């Protein structure tokens, strides 16, 4: 590789370079404030209100992480031992871990081979008398089929939790991601579409009871009025004032950053339309029900493509190398004789390309060129 070769890492090291001064100012403002309040203060309340207005939800509860948000929702719904929760077999650990950590059992179902989101008919087939909730997740750039999930939840009288951790800002049939379930969640970890400089998450809900309970559970079961009265066994999942202040500053720019992600994704998809004969498939085109967190190709010779891109200075990433029920931690919950062939296939074929808003047009073109130069098969 020559020295002039561009280096385009998958995880950009300069995500917040443009906002360095804002970060320092935020730390100074919160750090030197008279009230010396570093968690769950007025900035957190203002951030929750801003997200509430932004999403149109009745309530938003900021908490420690997206994973914690899932657990707060599960607990607020009183889901625990003896209950089953239907989750995707393909996805990240929090989907299964949140369920196990509240004492319930995750039931894994297969995904669509192209969009990689859970298949409604698989979800329906997994519902039993013990099912307390279904928990579809949006994946990479595609929202799960939430209208059908709502219909399934109603018909089978189970709760609907929407893992919208990767889809903040996505819109399906005029309704934002996070608004389709009885509760949805957001994650503010660095790489997410509204990622930030540390950990954070939120519960989004129209159900006042879920909001009330999540708010208590995030701070050891206290009600916010009577200190040291613990109504519930909760968690420490409080929200940081520095994070709240910084995210308040960044929220107005979110729409523009999402639009830039969508624009890059559109360009990639157009360029990759002809790569089918080389075993490379782009995600579905379009903007409806989409949110461009990660741009994931499916490639028959995935590892070769990854090496090819690396030789051109283009970083890529495999989300996820193994289905959840194949993980040592979750294998005990996999039902004997059950298989997830599409999840297995996705794990073998998926490859994500750089997709961050500050990529220049020239960089985007270079990445697309590198993919299009991938040689044909043997």
Ligand X SMILES: *Cc1c(COP(=O)(O)O)cnc(C)c1O
Task: Work out whether 65 is an interface residue with ligand X (CB under 6 A).
Answer: yes
Q: How far apart are CA 206 and CA 264, in angstroms?
A: 33
Q: How far apart are CA 88 and CA 119, in angstroms?
A: 9
Selected range binding ligand X among 49-57, 61-69, 301-309, 326-334, rule: CB under 6 A: 61-69
Minimum CB distance to ligand X, residue 136 (Å) = 10
Minimum CB distance to ligand X, residue 251 (Å) = 17
Interaction residues for ligand X, span 167-196 (CB under 6 A): 187, 189
Annotation says 192 is catalytic: yes
Helix (H) or strand (E) holding 249: helix 241-250
Candidates 79, 99, 123, 166: give the one binding ligand X (CB under 6 A): 166
Query: Token digits for 141?
Result: 């750039």
Interaction residues for ligand X, span 338-357 (CB under 6 A): none
Query: Token digits for 333?
Result: 């919950």
Query: Token digits for 285?
Result: 């085109």
3-state secondary structure (DSSP) of residue 23 = helix
Which DSSP string corresponds to 168-222?
TT-EETTEETTSSSSEEEEE-STTSTT--SS--EEEEES-HHHHHHHHHHTBTT-
Q: How far apart are CA 77 and CA 347, in angstroms?
A: 32
The residue number with the shortest CB distance to ligand X is 66
Query: Token digits for 234?
Result: 């909760």
Catalytic residue among 192, 261, 301, 308: 192
Helix (H) or strand (E) holding 160: strand 159-162
Candidates 41, 54, 71, 94: give the one binding ligand X (CB under 6 A): 94
Applying CB under 6 A, the site for ligand X has a residue count of: 14
Minimum CB distance to ligand X, residue 273 (Å) = 27
Measured from the CB atom, is 140 or 374 closer to ligand X?
140
Selected range binding ligand X among 158-166, 206-214, 220-228, 360-368, rule: CB under 6 A: 158-166
Task: Work out whether 165 is an interface residue with ligand X (CB under 6 A).
Answer: yes
Q: Catalogue the active-site residues.
A: 192
Chain contacts with ligand X (rule: CB under 6 A): 65-67, 91-92, 94-95, 137, 163, 165-166, 187, 189, 201
């Amino acid at each position: 590789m020559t020295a002039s070769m561009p280096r385009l890492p998958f995880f950009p090291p300069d995500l917040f370079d443009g906002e360095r001064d804002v970060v320092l100012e935020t730390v100074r403002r919160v750090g030197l404030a008279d009230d010396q309040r570093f968690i769950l203060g007025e900035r957190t309340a203002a951030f929750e209100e801003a997200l509430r207005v932004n999403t149109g939800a009745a309530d938003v509860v900021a908490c420690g992480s997206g994973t914690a948000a899932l657990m707060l929702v599960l607990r607020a719904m009183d889901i625990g031992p003896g209950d089953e929760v239907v989750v995707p077999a393909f996805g990240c650990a929090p989907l299964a871990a949140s369920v196990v950590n509240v004492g319930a059992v995750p039931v894994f179902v297969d995904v669509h081979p192209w969009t990689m989101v859970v298949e409604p008919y698989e979800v329906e087939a997994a519902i039993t008398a013990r099912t307390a909730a279904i928990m579809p997740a949006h994946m990479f750039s595609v929202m799960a089929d939430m209208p059908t999930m709502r219909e399934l939840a109603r018909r089978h009288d189970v709760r609907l939790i929407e893992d919208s951790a990767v889809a903040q800002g996505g819109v399906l049939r005029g309704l934002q991601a996070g608004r389709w379930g009885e509760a949805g969640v957001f994650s503010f970890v660095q790489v997410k579409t509204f990622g930030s400089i540390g950990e954070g998450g939120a519960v989004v809900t129209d159900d006042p009871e879920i909001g009330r309970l999540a708010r208590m559970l995030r701070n050891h079961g206290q009600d916010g009025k009577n200190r040291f009265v613990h109504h519930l066994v909760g968690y420490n999942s409080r929200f940081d004032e520095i994070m709240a202040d910084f995210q308040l500053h960044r929220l107005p720019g979110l729409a523009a950053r999402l639009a830039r992600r969508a624009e890059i994704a559109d360009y990639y998809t157009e360029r990759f339309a002809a790569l089918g004969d080389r075993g490379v498939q782009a995600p579905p085109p379009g903007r409806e029900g989409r949110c461009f967190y990660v741009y994931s190709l499916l490639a028959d010779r995935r590892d070769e493509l990854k090496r090819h891109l690396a030789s051109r200075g283009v970083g890529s990433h495999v989300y996820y190398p193994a289905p959840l029920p194949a993980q040592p931690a979750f294998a005990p919950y996999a039902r004997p004789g059950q298989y997830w062939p599409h999840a297995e296939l996705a794990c073998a074929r998926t490859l994500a390309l750089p997709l961050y808003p500050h990529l220049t047009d020239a960089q985007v073109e270079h990445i697309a060129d590198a993919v299009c130069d991938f040689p044909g098969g043997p």
